[in-house]
Amino acid sequence: MLKERKLIIAGNWKMNKTVAEALDLVHGLKLELANVKEVDLVVCPPFTALSEVSKVILDCNIRLGAQNMHEKNGGAYTGEISAMMLKEFSVRYVILGHSERRQYQKESDALISAKAHGAHASSLKPIVCVGETLAEREAGQTEKVLETQVRGSLAGLSKEQMGETILAYEPVWAIGTGKTATAGQAQEAHVFIRRLLADLFDETVARRARIQYGGSVKPANARELMSQADVDGALVGGASLEARSFADIVKNSI
C-alpha cells in the first residue's frame, strides 16, 4: 500500500528470550524478512541479548532497539543502562515511556522527556509511548490523557529532535489483552496526536512524524490498521516473539 510516511514496525520482546532463544528468533526473522525494503524493521530484545543479536543483524535490513535507558550517561545508578552503553552494540532506537514502565516503575512524563533528551544527545532515536487506560477511555478522557503525555514526554525537544523521534500510540487496554483498538479508534487517536504535534512544533514536523500503533497487533489485523492514513507502523509485543507471526505482520502491512 502507498503511504505518505515509510512504515516502521518494531518488535518489543519485553522480558522474554534468553540469548540462545533471541538468536533463534533473529535468525528466523532474517530469513523471513531479508527482502523487505518498504518498511523500517526494528527488534528490541532485552539488554542481555543486545550484544549477540547485534552481530547477527549487522549485514541486514533489521535495526536494533532497546526497551529502556537511563537519562544520564554514567554515574552511581545501580542497575541502570546508559545510552552510551547501548551505542556500543549499534543500538539505533530506544523505547521510552512504555505503559508497563509508567505503571510498574512509575515513570513520569518529566522523566520520559529527560530520557528522550538523553537519547538524542547520543543520537539514539526514541520511540515514545503514550496511551490511555480503559478507565480513562470510558470516562471520556482519552484526548486529555494523550495531550498531557505527549506535551510532557516531548517537552523541550527541538523540531530537529522531533524529526528523529517516533511516537507510539498504545492504548493500555489493548496491550497483551487480545483487544485491539478498531482501525477507526487508532486513526482517530493518531490524527489527534498529529494535530498536537503541529501545535507543539509545526505543520511540517507533524506531517513527517511517524506514529506507530501498538496493542495486540497480529497478522490478522495488521493490514487494516496499517492502511489507516495516520498509522505509520506498529509496536508489536506478543506477536513479535515468533519469527513467522512478526514476519506475517510485516508482509501484511506492505
State the minimum distance, in angstroms, from the CB of residue 168 to ligand PGA: 7
State the minimum distance, in angstroms, from the CB of residue 150 to ligand PGA: 17
Catalytic residue among 70, 98, 120, 190: 98
Instruction: Name the residues that contact ligand PGA, by CB under 6 A.
Output: 12, 170, 175-176, 214-217, 235-239
Residue with cell 517516533: 166
- Residue 173 grid coordinates: 487496554
Greatest extent of the chain over all pairs of C-alpha atoms, in Å: 49
Contact (Cβ atoms closer than 8 angstroms) between residue 95 and residue 119: no
Q: Which C-beta is closer to ligand PGA: that of 176 or that of 184?
A: 176
d(CA 232, CA 228) in angstroms, rounded, equals 8
Catalytic residue among 100, 132, 170, 190: 170
d(CA 173, CA 189) in angstroms, rounded, equals 14
Neighbours of 123 (CB within 10 A): 10
State the minimum distance, in angstroms, from the CB of residue 94 to ligand PGA: 14
Q: Which C-beta is closer to ligand PGA: that of 187 or that of 216?
A: 216
Q: Is position 98 annotated as part of the catalytic site?
A: yes
Q: Which C-beta is closer to ligand PGA: that of 25 or that of 239?
A: 239
Question: Which one-letter DSSP state was computed for residue 216?
Answer: S
State the minimum distance, in angstroms, from the CB of residue 158 to ligand PGA: 27
Q: Which residues are catalytic?
A: 98, 170
